Structure 1
Amino acid sequence: MVTMITVEHLTKRYGDHTAVDDVSFACKSGQVTGFLGPNGAGKSTTMRIIAGLTPPTSGSATVDGFAYRDIPNPSTQVGVLLDASAQHAGRTGAEILRLSAMTMGVPRSRVDEMLEMVSLTPDEADRRVRNYSLGMRQRLGIANALIGDPHILILDEPANGLDPAGIHWMRTLLRDYANRGGTVLLSSHLLHEIEIIADEILVIGQGRIVAQGTKDELLATNGARVRSLDDTSLADALSRSGIHAQPADGGGFTTDATPEDVGRVAAATGIALIELRPGDGAQLEEMFLQLTQQTQREQPVPQGVQ
């Protein structure tokens, strides 16, 4: 896989407020990278810097090896949707796409292709955007991001305003796009959707990356859960073997060792076990809340900073 988005030691300050604090990560081709964080955590600011809309205080962000501003006709390389409501309210959806196609120099036939792809009917395409629902604006924004046939997508909260069928549609669209070799950086507070679609996950809190890795790594099961007929003796035996055991609700222990290692210790000391299983996997939502609990609405965020 080829690295398509590279963020290195990115920092952005607004006066005394640090919106993004020494953030580094990479997004690879053929993958969906999920960017998670509460409001004000730094997601949108980071994505705006990548898209060349906000200058960083320090650090760098490159797309396919270049700063966004240095890419010729960038919309044919990178599709961006940062705010579905930031579209000309007085134009129709079809007009917005026609203007984009003309600006990029792509065939006008792409307009009808994109409208069909995002399921905006001819009647809806001829309505003025001020009369669109948020979900319709999201669909139009995704169409606009894809009209130049880019190989990289940067989408900030694209599921906002979509109904369950729309979310399923978007998830299928982005999964197919990545499976064809595209690169997707997707921010969302809808943790379940990220858990379903993302290959790599970034969690940001107070402007810093607090967790990152593959979905399997972040959702991996933790240690072992064990109960015995003599928990006191079991605790002593585990301790002598260098295994840390934490008392668990309902009796027994959770450990940082594998079930196999715990079972060997119990067998060697003749302790009868009544429960031995892998530890509970850390669900993404639980992990997300734990890692960001100190960042949620604790302090005011300057207007326009997310």
Structure 2
Amino acid sequence: MITVEHLTRRYGSYVAVDDVSFEVRPGSVTGFLGPNGAGKSTCMRMICGLTPPSGGVARVLGGSYTDLPNPGRQVGVLLDAAAQHNGRTGREILSLGAILMGLPKSRVDEMLHLVGLNGDESKRRLRDYSLGMRQRLGIAHALLGDPKVLILDEPANGLDPAGIRWMRTLLRGFADEGGTVLLSSHLLHEIEVVADHFIVIGRGKIVANGPKSQLMAAAGTSVRSTDDMRLAGALQGAGFAVDGVGGAIRTDAEPAQVGRIALDQQIALIELKAAGSAGLEEMFLQLTAADAREGVAA
């Protein structure tokens, strides 16, 4: 369990995290979403005790992270895969972690096998690792102590499609066994498949917080018909918002409501479906538009 209450971080007059509150419950993967610079990493660093908050509190497993005895055995953390000693081998990194946590040497081999770093790769210096290999090693270190909670900041960076699928399977299995996962990303599609709850942050503030099913339902309906202009007018006349006439209509009406209106108007439907991930991405972009550096995408 992770509990954040009114967490705030100021740097002079700049407010990086502004009165943020949320919970991450056991048995779930919570996607922490937002554009670059939205405050995700700062928030996660405060949860892990690396950045002192200007206000509010963050609790992990009921208390401050810094008060946990042998925290690596309870909370696995990956905040920056590049923040590792370039002169050490992957095996040495994990072996040192095992010694500090009081773990048997066999745990190192288990983790190397779990993340797919073979014998030769584990003996390479980190200066010769790709970003994807560093991410795998970072995930191995986070899991080394068999923790109950995982806090991962952009763990998919540098992973190829097979690696991203592997990571999703790993994290889903961890949560299904009762673990708690807080997983940050600025790319919605990276964690849409694995996360069952989303927290969206923009300009340091929470702009959306809820189950994925609820947010995807809120994304509305996509519909194509034999007369989109007339259908759009009928939907607007019934009080529903309409967007994207021409190609496909997106509306905040539920599919059943769209179907009934089309039937009343004797308009044949070609396609009718929940907007799904496309609608969720559009909603994400709208919610975080003020914080997007490019103005159109995060």
Alignment TM-score > 0.5, same fold: yes
SS of alignment partner, residue 85 of structure 1:
coil
User: Which piece of structure 1 moves more, 244-253 or 114-123?
Assistant: 244-253
Change over 3 Å in CA distance of 1:122–1:184 after alignment to 2: same
Alpha carbons 1:235, 1:245 under 8 Å: kept: no
The reply to whether residue 205 of structure 1 matches residue 202 of structure 2 is yes
Counterpart-to-counterpart distance in 2, 1:148 and 1:184: 15
Aligned residue for 2:154?
Answer: 157
Alignment of 1:245-284 (within 5 A): 246=242, 249-250=245-246, 256-258=252-254, 271-275=265-269, 277=272, 280-281=275-276, 283-284=279-280
Alignment of 1:63-142 (within 5 A): 63-142=60-139
Change over 3 Å in CA distance of 1:62–1:249 after alignment to 2: same
Aligned-residue offset at 1:284: 2.6
Q: For residue 101 of structure 1, what is the amino acid of its counterpart?
A: A
Aligned residue for 1:222?
Answer: 220
Root mean square deviation of aligned Cα: 3.0
Aligned residue for 1:304?
Answer: none
Aligned-residue offset at 1:95: 1.1
Q: For residue 84 of structure 2, what is the amino acid of its counterpart?
A: Q
Counterpart-to-counterpart distance in 2, 1:247 and 1:89: 51
Q: For residue 107 of structure 1, what is the amino acid of its counterpart?
A: P
Alpha carbons 1:226, 1:254 under 8 Å: kept: no
Counterpart-to-counterpart distance in 2, 1:234 and 1:190: 31
Q: Choose from 190, 194, 204 the match for 2:191.
A: 194
Aligned-residue offset at 1:244: 4.4
Q: Indicate the structure (1 or 2) with the bigger Cα radius of gyration.
A: 1
Aligned residue for 2:169?
Answer: 172
Alpha carbons 2:4, 2:21 under 8 Å: kept: yes
Change over 3 Å in CA distance of 1:278–1:94 after alignment to 2: closer
TM-score (norm 2): 0.86
Q: For residue 81 of structure 1, what is the amino acid of its counterpart?
A: L
Deviations 1:146-198 (A, max 9, x none): 11110100000111111111111111111111111111111112321211110
Q: For residue 173 of structure 2, what is the amino acid of its counterpart?
A: D
The reply to whether residue 37 of structure 1 matches residue 34 of structure 2 is yes
Alpha carbons 2:221, 2:252 under 8 Å: kept: yes
Counterpart-to-counterpart distance in 2, 1:130 and 1:233: 59
Q: Choose from 291, 298, 306 the match for 2:287.
A: 291
The reply to whether residue 13 of structure 1 matches residue 10 of structure 2 is yes
Which runs of structure 1 show a deviation greater than 3 angstroms over 4 or more consecutive aligned residues?
223-229, 231-239, 242-248, 250-267, 270-282
Change over 3 Å in CA distance of 1:280–1:165 after alignment to 2: closer
Change over 3 Å in CA distance of 1:248–1:156 after alignment to 2: closer
Q: For residue 38 of structure 1, what is the amino acid of its counterpart?
A: P
Alpha carbons 1:153, 1:183 under 8 Å: kept: yes
Q: For residue 10 of structure 1, what is the amino acid of its counterpart?
A: L
Change over 3 Å in CA distance of 1:118–1:251 after alignment to 2: closer
TM-score (norm 1): 0.84
Aligned-residue offset at 1:101: 0.7
Structure 2 residues not aligned, in runs of 5+: none
Identical-residue share of aligned pairs (%): 62
Deviations 1:79-104 (A, max 9, x none): 00000011111111111111111111
Counterpart-to-counterpart distance in 1, 2:180 and 2:45: 17
Q: For residue 43 of structure 1, what is the amino acid of its counterpart?
A: K
